[in-house]
Amino acid sequence: MHYFYTKMLKKFDTKNRLRICFVISSTLLYLIPLIIAFLSIDSLWSPDGKYLKLPFLRDYNVMFMSTIAIPFLFCFLLVEKEKIPESVASAARKGILKPKGKDYKKFLNIWRNIYKWVNIGSIPVGITIGIFVSYANYSVFSQQDFGGWQMTDNQLNLPGWIFILWQLPITVWIFSIYVMRNTTTMFFLHYLVKKSEIHLDPFHQDKSAGLKKVGELGLRNQYILMVLGCNLLLYGYVGNIFSWDKAFIFLMTIMIFGYLLVGIFAFVGPLLPFRKVMLETKKIEVEKISNVLTNAYKDVLYKISNESISKEAWENISHLLEFQKAVKNIPVWPLDIETIKKFLKAYLIPPITGIISLILKQLFELANQLFIHVK
């Protein structure tokens, strides 16, 4: 969260608007349901071991989802609205992206309208998926002796209805916007590459040939993946409390499949349009340097045969070799080393955290048993 605010939102959050949005969304999604739960549920913290297995304040999955994951994703979507045109404009100013044809402005206006309709279309899509997810959760809650805070005497209580009709639909809707926007961005970048001439700069300070700002449209998803992975981890903790019955296993399977599928698609998808053009550009530039290098080499051979080689000739070849190396080191998304590192980091942090937690739990239980035995 700290890195996201300091690196990603600094430019767009000069008046703390996103921090305010984060606090408001967290309040609406968790604080208000917490107050209602406090007024209508007997116990918020202590399970009774029989009827209440998971109290409201121990449902860390819902807590994390409502206070961090969804507000985080909401702020992310707000900043992304400004990030896309800013990234494209940055590459255009540096001469990396140059428009082809006279209808470039028309092309950008068309995509602005597409993004507008994607935002509108996400509402019915989110509602439809939200109904399915809410019904699936209601089916789990309705099982006899469910033991969650959403039920009282085998009936859905007021906080449970708020969760089914408010927290879940909002969560699904925001996630639907994210998936649909990310898909739209992938197609936008695909057509942007077709409508533009790409001029890579192998010596650019961003180490991405001047395309780092555009590449961040895909790489930024690593933060979302880590947050969603942590939420998935906490859902697994909740499932462990309920001894992993069939309903929880079914929901967990869907969530893992969705996480893996959407994660790979969201992370790699926006970078794929640049792969072909980066490969072609690298090939052309390397061939140019190779031709010059070949001519320089022939010139040196001729001078060696005449015993008149100069220091400048050797320096020229050395500079050409360094230039060739720099061009060859231009990353080709999404299979370059740095991109793969970020991708693996995003995917590995949640499971590694889970493994460490399980190890610490086992060590704590072992230490507790040893303590009891010694006592």
Per-residue pLDDT of the chain (375 residues; tens, 9 = 90+): 445 545 555 555 555 777 788 888 889 999 989 999 888 887 787 776 566 778 888 888 899 999 988 988 888 887 776 666 666 666 666 667 777 767 777 877 888 888 888 888 888 888 888 888 888 888 877 776 677 888 887 788 899 899 998 998 898 888 888 888 888 888 888 788 777 777 777 666 766 666 776 666 666 777 777 788 888 888 887 777 766 667 677 777 777 787 777 777 777 777 777 777 778 877 887 888 888 778 777 777 666 665 666 667 667 777 777 777 777 777 776 666 777 777 777 777 777 877 787 788 778 878 877 877 766
- Is 151 found in the same domain as 121? yes
Tell me whether residue 367 is in a domain. no
Look up the domain containing 291 and give its range.
282-328
Q: Which of 24, 59, 41, 19 minimizes the C-alpha distance to 170?
A: 24
Q: Which residues pair with 156 in a beta bridge?
A: 151
Answer whether 197's CB lies under 8 Å from 98's CB. yes
For residue 270, report the phi and psi dihedrals to the nearest 5 degrees.
-65, -20
Tell me whether residue 339 is in a domain. no
- For residue 204, the Cα-to-chain-centroid distance in whole angstroms is 26
Tell me whether residue 334 is in a domain. no
- Is 289 found in the same domain as 182? no
- Is 190 found in the same domain as 67? yes
Q: ∠ CA 277-279-282 to the nearest 5 degrees?
A: 105
Any idea which residue has 């991405």 for tokens? 208
- Is 168 found in the same domain as 258? yes
Tell me the three state secondary structure of residue 354. Answer: helix
Any idea which residue has 């039920």 for tokens? 151
Domain boundary among 256, 273, 290: 273
Please give the C-alpha separations between residue 102 and each of 17, 99, 106, 192, 197, in angstroms, as whole numbers.
Answer: 38, 8, 9, 14, 13
- Is 242 found in the same domain as 322? no
- Please state, in angstroms and rounded to a whole number, the distance separating the CA atoms of residues 197 and 339: 23
- Is 239 found in the same domain as 292? no
For residue 99, report the phi and psi dihedrals to the nearest 5 degrees.
-65, 145
- Is 243 found in the same domain as 144? yes
Tell me whether residue 345 is in a domain. no
Tell me whether residue 214 is in a domain. yes
Tell me whether residue 323 is in a domain. yes
- Is 114 found in the same domain as 237? yes
- Cα-trace Rg, the chain: 27
- Is 286 found in the same domain as 239? no
Look up residue 36 and give its amino acid: I
Q: Which of 67, 64, 334, 115 minimizes the C-alpha distance to 221?
A: 334
Tell me whether residue 84 is in a domain. yes
Tell me whether residue 49 is in a domain. yes
Q: Which of 251, 265, 110 minimizes the C-alpha distance to 178?
A: 265
Model pTM? 0.76
Whether the link from the prior residue into 334 is cis, omega within 30° of 0, is: yes
- Is 286 found in the same domain as 234? no
Q: Which residues pair with 155 in a beta bridge?
A: 152
Domain count, the chain: 2
Q: Which residues pair with 97 in a beta bridge?
A: 198
- Is 180 found in the same domain as 48? yes
**Structure tokens of 144?**
């006899």
- Is 303 found in the same domain as 157? no
Please give the pLDDT value at position 91.
67
